[in-house]
Structure 1
Amino acid sequence: MRLLTFHRTAARKAAAPPVSTGRMTRRLAAAAIGFLAFAANPAHALDAIVQKQTFTLPSYTTVGGAPLRDVKVGWEAYGTLNADKSNVILITHFFSGTSHAAGKYKPSDAAPGYWDAIIGPGKPLDTDKYYIISSDTLVNLNANDPNVVTTGPASISLETGKPYGPRFPVVTIRDFVNVQKALLDSLGIARLHAVMGPSMGALQVYEWATGYPEVVERAIPVIGAGEADGWLVAWLDVWGSPIRVDPNFNGGDYYGRTPPKQGLAQALKVVTLSAGAYPWANTTFGRKWAEPGKDPALALDNRYAIEAKLDEVAAARADLADANHFLYLVKANQVFAAGGDVGLKRIKAPVLIISSDEDLIFHPAAIQRTADEIRKGGAPVEQVKIGGGRGHLNGIGNIQEAGEAISRFLAQ
């Protein structure tokens, strides 16, 4: 099964020119909310046009027991599926991400998928060896993005002919994984060489390894812990709060009316900042003014550059997102605890945990506690730390720092 064409290119003979401060800022802030991700230029560029496909489940019952009909998610793949379908690596995406992990939908796209730095010929997730598959989750944040296929509150209910709105059932990380499992079943894929994902994607990795241990041969969670602790639950509540106080939210019943765009933009602004780190903020912006001659000390409306940039990026991102989908994702992340009562000790596959000590969302103690719990069940665990000065976003924009460890882990 070949979905993409890859062309090797010669390694660059000279170093790439430095990225300007403004350009880096735009890329970094956007990566936090799934808009763009920036990474170092790879030795072999992924020159490929991605074919987005749709998977449909006629019916699905959520973990909470609610029936859904006509469940749809989008998916894409990179590389070639081998004869015995044993070379599959599943990529699971982050909170505000999509299935678009590598390549481009069209040549004119501004940037490739968020993990293009490690997916492609000669890269750690080598498409000459592996078949890489990725899907949009249920209640995907980017419900208004034409390249996203998802089922959630903004979807039309077959029963009413109207958007579900707040009547859509609560879904969990396990529901995301169950739909992915159904997708793989439809393709005749019974085993995963590995499952790998960042942030909320890491939560899905843990759920795969605990829920389907007979399927997963290797697990690579990136910047994510095995359960939502009190710190994460609180952060997620803070993320969603601006939406709830927007006067247009109307309890989630806003379809056909003015949507809570202002609250959604402010929510995305909070996500962007909390996913970053002070080195990025201070080095890129510091105390620069948003506009020359407008000293923030002289008027309430005069702003700093970092304030203006966060608002600009978040407002643009809100155009593609849906407020209800944001809140449903918040709930799915808050209630997450991999493996239920048995927990992480259910994991049997070898695990490579990639994390960053700069992370303000999944803090180092939560990562270490996760590793310790997995080891109690007897599964081997390797831990790799990455840096980069970008906080949580190190797992998106600096994942190539763990490239050698990933390649070695996948080969063993």
Structure 2
Amino acid sequence: MTTRRSLLAAAWAVPLAAAAPGILARAALAQAPTAQAPTAQAPAAQAPIAQAPAAPALVERREFSFQGYTTRGGASIPAIRTGYQTAGTLNAAGDNAVLVTHFFSGNGHAFGRLQAEGPAGWWDSIIGPGRPIDTERYFVVASDTLVNLNAPDRHTITTGPASVNPSTGRPWGMSFPAVSIRDFVEVQKRLLDHLGVKKLALVAGPSMGSLQAIEWAAAYPEMVERVMPVIGTGEMDAWMLGWLDLWAAPIRMDPAWRNGDYYGQGREAPLRGLAEALKLVTLHSRDRGWAGQFGRRPAEGQDPARRVQDRFAIEAALDAAAAARAKVSDANSFLYLVRANQLFLNEYAGLEAALAKAGGRWLVVPSRGDRVFPIEYSEELVAALRRAGRPVSQAVLTGTQGHLEGVVGIAQAEAQIREFLAR
């Protein structure tokens, strides 16, 4: 039974890498085999032989930094660092670029492998040679956001509350200025300018990544040719603002949080509060079909009918995986990401005003079982795009993974993505 428990906890490490508007795993995604044409030696009538998909290419994580950034709220940050990776080649005109924007708990590892035996990027199933976002045709860029949840991870480069404030020599903590989704876009714009990108053939991302894609379309319509928001929304309404506050609440209630001042030597990080936050939003990001695997059975060796302290299997699994995930995440960054999501399209009177400035063609990709951004959010976005006169189509994902379907099930939309990019 010990082996079974360890395997269950390992399986949950993936969903818990996905914890909030955009909490979606940074692990390898299964890919269907692709059929190859018969070889010259094979008889003409022989059926094509299924070949295993090509292994994800090795990619290099790089750092981009610049001095002096003024947030959209008017605060100054002396220096910005962000990690990024690329695949493919930018053409002479600088107009064959694709920007892939990540979800709440993710980073810029959207495709390829960082090491030969490491996990593939979270959208590797649709990014690569011959895949819908074809790296033999496009120059694909993916970067880490500001205030990244994975600040302790050596593969993530970010500036946020866990970074050292050069004026004090200590981590910023809660003195770091609030940043918004638009601030994420502005840092990405600096990176793309540095890389020589003049135009984006596509900007796309899931969940929080979809919010960034929409902000891009509104902020730089002349630069964006196509937009693909996946499992997202066109509006951060009061209902979603309330959910975001609930996700953040366990961190603020943890005595170890100390109003964000927990970085000092010998101080305990608020891991309990962060784990509870991750647990809450992870369950929210799934669907009933996924949870059905646990049923109502108790955790190993426990009996909830006799002892209130005993746990059901789903509770024990959530606890174990959330605790492991919290150890490689930063609680303050979680809070800053919550606020950034709450400030989505904050500079516009509303969605209609934002779309009045936006251009490009759109492919909206919701998940039918989404509990974070229910499908009506995407339907409202599609309706608003049509009212604004924007060309828009829709590809609906199905399955048991809920919000997470936007990553693990994105290959369902392969044909629609290929057709979208062909136009």
TM-score of the pair, normalised by structure 2 = 0.89
Which residue is 1:172 aligned to? 180
Over 3 Å counting, the alpha-carbon distance change for 1:35 and 1:376 in structure 2 is closer
Aligned with residue 258 of structure 1, among 268, 274, 293? 268
Which residue is 1:197 aligned to? 205
Which residue is 2:225 aligned to? 217
Over 3 Å counting, the alpha-carbon distance change for 1:119 and 1:338 in structure 2 is farther
Which residue is 1:367 aligned to? 378
CA contact (8 A) 2:370 2:403 kept: yes
Question: Percent of counterpart pairs with the same letter?
Answer: 48
- 2:229 and 2:86 mapped to 1: Cα distance? 20
Residue range with higher mean Cα deviation, 247-256 or 34-43: 34-43
Aligned with residue 40 of structure 1, among 23, 30, 34? 30
| AA partner of residue 201 (structure 1) | G
Which residue is 1:358 aligned to? 369
Aligned 1:73-88 pairs, distance under 5 A: 73-88=82-97
C-alpha displacement at 1:39, in angstroms?
Answer: 3.2
Q: Does 1:102 align with 2:102?
A: no
Which residue is 1:129 aligned to? 137
C-alpha displacement at 1:339, in angstroms?
Answer: 6.2
- 1:144 and 1:175 mapped to 2: Cα distance? 21
CA contact (8 A) 1:206 1:226 kept: yes
Q: Deviations over 1:354-384 (max 9, x none)?
A: 0012111112222222122222221111111
Q: Deviations over 1:274-300 (max 9, x none)?
A: 000111001x21112221x42221222
| AA partner of residue 402 (structure 2) | G
| AA partner of residue 155 (structure 2) | N
| AA partner of residue 189 (structure 1) | V
- 2:13 and 2:67 mapped to 1: Cα distance? 40
Which residue is 2:338 aligned to? 330
C-alpha displacement at 1:25, in angstroms?
Answer: 5.0
- 2:58 and 2:294 mapped to 1: Cα distance? 35
- 1:29 and 1:161 mapped to 2: Cα distance? 32
Aligned with residue 142 of structure 1, among 137, 141, 150? 150
| AA partner of residue 246 (structure 2) | V
C-alpha displacement at 1:195, in angstroms?
Answer: 0.2
Which residue is 2:245 aligned to? 237
- 1:41 and 1:50 mapped to 2: Cα distance? 19
Aligned 1:173-188 pairs, distance under 5 A: 173-188=181-196
CA contact (8 A) 1:27 1:37 kept: yes
- Count of residue pairs the alignment pairs up: 390
| AA partner of residue 208 (structure 1) | W
CA contact (8 A) 1:265 1:317 kept: yes
Over 3 Å counting, the alpha-carbon distance change for 1:34 and 1:224 in structure 2 is closer
CA contact (8 A) 1:31 1:397 kept: no
Residue range with higher mean Cα deviation, 334-343 or 251-260: 334-343
Stretches of structure 1 lacking an aligned partner (at least 5 in a row): 1-19
Over 3 Å counting, the alpha-carbon distance change for 1:74 and 1:22 in structure 2 is closer
Q: Deviations over 1:156-207 (max 9, x none)?
A: 0111111111110000000000000000001111100100000000000000
C-alpha displacement at 1:30, in angstroms?
Answer: 4.1
Which residue is 1:61 aligned to? 70
- 1:232 and 1:168 mapped to 2: Cα distance? 24
CA contact (8 A) 1:88 1:193 kept: yes
- 2:182 and 2:149 mapped to 1: Cα distance? 17
Stretches of structure 2 lacking an aligned partner (at least 5 in a row): 1-6, 35-52
C-alpha displacement at 1:46, in angstroms?
Answer: 3.9
- 1:162 and 1:65 mapped to 2: Cα distance? 22
Q: Deviations over 1:65-97 (max 9, x none)?
A: 001111111000122222322211000000111
Which residue is 1:278 aligned to? 288
CA contact (8 A) 2:28 2:121 kept: no
Residue range with higher mean Cα deviation, 382-391 or 38-47: 38-47
Aligned 1:273-352 pairs, distance under 5 A: 273-282=283-292, 284-291=293-300, 293-337=301-345, 340-341=348-349, 342-352=353-363
C-alpha displacement at 1:305, in angstroms?
Answer: 1.4
CA contact (8 A) 2:12 2:321 kept: no
Which residue is 1:382 aligned to? 393
- 1:345 and 1:95 mapped to 2: Cα distance? 27
